[in-house]
Amino acid sequence: MNDVMCSTVASTLDEMELHYKHEGELFTFSVGDDYADFPVRIIADEENELLTTIGYFPVKIPKAHLDKMYKFINDLNYKTMVGFFTIDSDDGKLSFRLANNVDGGAINEGIVKACFLQVMYRLRDTYEDIMKAMYGGEQYSFTFANATSSPEQRAS
């Protein structure tokens, strides 16, 4: 079934004109929005017959704000009917995850699109609320989740 899952994901992403990397069961790409670029992963898990879509928030949550964000994210998850937010406490990355059981070969382009769009809409619709909860109107600076420091930044 993995060949069917991966080929369905690939053809759907091609149809949507998204440029992606594909390694085994993993598809990775970024999608731009009015706010920022959102990194995305789609995992076509043959063994568990599961299609998982993960969208990453474009900024890391500073360690100083993790405690208050755990409560805020729990409140968001309580109000979320499908999928869930999670915070990686090691690096402060916030993501929204959605998994669909596609057992018995129940995979098609509509399911791939629906999973992807649900994740992207959820990230977009919560972006401002998350930023407000994280910083509460304070003056702030942030680090993009996929950014690495330049040689000039490392020298200072």
C-alpha separations of 10 from 7, 17, 19, 30 in Å = 5, 10, 10, 15
The per-residue pLDDT for 2 is: 53
Domain ranges of the chain: 2-155
Q: Each residue of 67-93: pLDDT tens digit?
A: 889 989 998 898 888 889 999 988 889
Average pLDDT over residues 98-122: 88
pLDDT at residue 97 greater than cutoff 90: yes
Q: How far is it, in rounded angstroms, from Cα 128 to Cα 79?
A: 16
Q: Each residue of 16-48: pLDDT tens digit?
A: 999 999 999 999 999 986 667 889 999 998 888
What's the pTM? 0.81
CATH 1.10.580.10 for the 2-155 domain, yes or no: no
